[in-house]
Structure formats: structure tokens, C-alpha cells
Amino acid sequence: MRSYLRADGGDCELVDVDGDQVYVKLSGACTGFQRASVTINGMRQKLNEATGLALRVLAVS
């Protein structure tokens, strides 16, 4: 995911993991992006596929 974000001038950072909640910070072109929820949803899907867990991904500022 990160390589795709960087290719579009954005980036993300893992901030924290608390139980099934994963907190990420979007930066660069991703900051204030109207479709950031689509990006977050894509991250959630990739993480859930990779881990086999039902994780929630939440953006923090």
C-alpha cells in the first residue's frame, strides 16, 4: 500500500495497535484527501487478508 501512496505523493505511518484497532497517520497528498476513507478501507482489507484477523484501521491526525 505504501508504495502506491508514495507514487501519488502521499504516505502513511503506523502510529499504534491496540487490540483489533490499527491507528495510522496519513501525510503528504493523503492529508485532507476527500477519498481518504477509500485508502483506509484498502489498508484494512490488505491487513485483514495478510493476518487473517478482523482489524479496524483508523486514521489519526
Residue-level pLDDT at 48: 96
pTM of the model: 0.81
According to DSSP H, which parts of the chain are helical? 2-7, 36-51
Domain total in the chain = 1
Residue-level pLDDT at 33: 61
Residue 35 phi/psi, 5-degree rounding, is -105, 25
What residues of the chain score a pLDDT lower than 70? Answer: 30-33
Q: Which CATH number does the domain housing residue 37 bear?
A: 3.30.300.130
Return the SS3 of 2. helix
Q: Domain limits at 19?
A: 2-60
